[in-house]
């Protein structure tokens, strides 16, 4: 890097000062400039030490990578409209910090910021799949018990000849509230506060419940699980309840 800086400095000198005999003083000066440039490049590029995740409880403005839909493994991310900025910038509640640190000590690849981006995307996708009766998507995003509960509710709705015309207006906030490690599994609980437009129609398309105009506030608590050290990076919905 110092040699590159030396060449840059030499070119600058020839272009703007004119060709002059190289003296001992000019050589020292050029070497100092090269060293300075090298230090500047080093400070910009940085170096990985293996301890970057020591803080690893990031604020929202520190998250730069897009989140995966399956929490770790997809291209899609929630739309800007669906996620409101949190004034504190934190992606977790204080009560969850000790659990997060325990998870990080066990799984160094875990990133709370990326997890929350994916958790918001999963919240949207699971709700929309349930409303639309999309069993395949639910199977991909839920564990067996959660999947069966969703499918049972969908089947009952279809038997009544009803369909949902719901829409997630926005996610007002989403934060990790608890982290548990047990039996080789990690379970992360997220609390979502969102606005949802909920409408139920009969077989003829007539609105029988809800409103197309007014959105209702929801307060949901979902828990995702994943086997620690598993080759499968995906988190699955384990439990879903309303606060």
Do 185 and 67 reside in the same domain of the chain? yes
CATH of the domain at 163: 3.10.450.240
- The model's pLDDT over 154-165, given as tens digits with 9 standing for 90+, comes to 999 999 999 999
Confidence check: pLDDT of 82 > 90: no
Q: In what order do the strands lie in the sheet with 167-182?
A: 167-182, 185-197, 216-227, 236-242
Do 164 and 221 reside in the same domain of the chain? yes
Query: Which of the four pLDDT bands, split at 50, 70 and 90, describes residue 211?
Result: confident
Find out whether 213 and 193 touch, Cβ atoms under 8 Å.
no
- Residues 159, 214, 222, CA angle at the centre, nearest 5°? 65
- The model's pLDDT over 104-120, given as tens digits with 9 standing for 90+, comes to 999 988 999 999 999 99
Model pLDDT, residue 34:
56
Confidence check: pLDDT of 25 > 70: no
Do 134 and 15 reside in the same domain of the chain? no
- Residue spans of beta strands (DSSP E) within 198-235: 199-201, 207-210, 216-227
Model pLDDT, residue 137:
97
Do 27 and 137 reside in the same domain of the chain? no
- Domain total for the chain? 2
Q: What is the mean pLDDT of residues 64-71?
A: 40
- The model's pLDDT over 50-65, given as tens digits with 9 standing for 90+, comes to 333 333 343 444 444 4
Of the candidates 35, 38, 30, 40, the one whose C-alpha atom is nearest the C-alpha of residue 9 is 30
What's the whole-model pTM score? 0.66
Is residue 74 included in any domain, yes or no? yes
> What domain range includes position 35?
2-45
Do 25 and 105 reside in the same domain of the chain? no
Do 9 and 71 reside in the same domain of the chain? no
Is residue 183 included in any domain, yes or no? yes
Do 24 and 134 reside in the same domain of the chain? no
Do 29 and 68 reside in the same domain of the chain? no
């Amino acid at each position: 890097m110092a040699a590159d800086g030396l060449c840059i400095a030499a070119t600058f000198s020839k272009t703007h000062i004119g060709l002059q005999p190289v003296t001992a003083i000019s050589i020292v000066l050029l070497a100092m400039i090269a060293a300075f440039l090298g230090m500047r490049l080093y400070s910009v590029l940085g170096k990985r030490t293996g301890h970057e995740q020591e803080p690893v409880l990031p604020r929202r403005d520190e998250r730069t990578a897009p989140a995966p839909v399956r929490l770790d493994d997809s291209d899609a991310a929630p739309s800007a409209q669906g996620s409101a900025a949190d004034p504190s910038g934190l992606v977790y509640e204080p009560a969850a910090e000790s659990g997060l640190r325990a998870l990080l000590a066990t799984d160094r690849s875990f990133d709370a910021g990326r997890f929350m981006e994916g958790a918001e995307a999963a919240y949207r996708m699971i709700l929309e799949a349930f409303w639309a009766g999309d069993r395949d998507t639910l199977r991909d995003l839920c564990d067996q018990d959660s999947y069966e509960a969703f499918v049972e509710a969908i089947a009952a709705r279809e038997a009544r000849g009803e369909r949902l015309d719901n829409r997630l207006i926005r996610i007002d906030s989403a934060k990790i509230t608890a982290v548990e490690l047990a039996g080789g599994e990690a379970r992360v609980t997220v609390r979502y506060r969102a606005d949802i437009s909920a409408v139920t129609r009969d077989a003829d398309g007539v609105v029988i419940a809800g409103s197309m105009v007014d959105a209702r506030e929801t307060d949901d608590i979902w828990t995702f699980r994943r086997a620690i050290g598993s080759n499968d990076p995906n988190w699955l919905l384990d439990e879903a309840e309303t606060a």
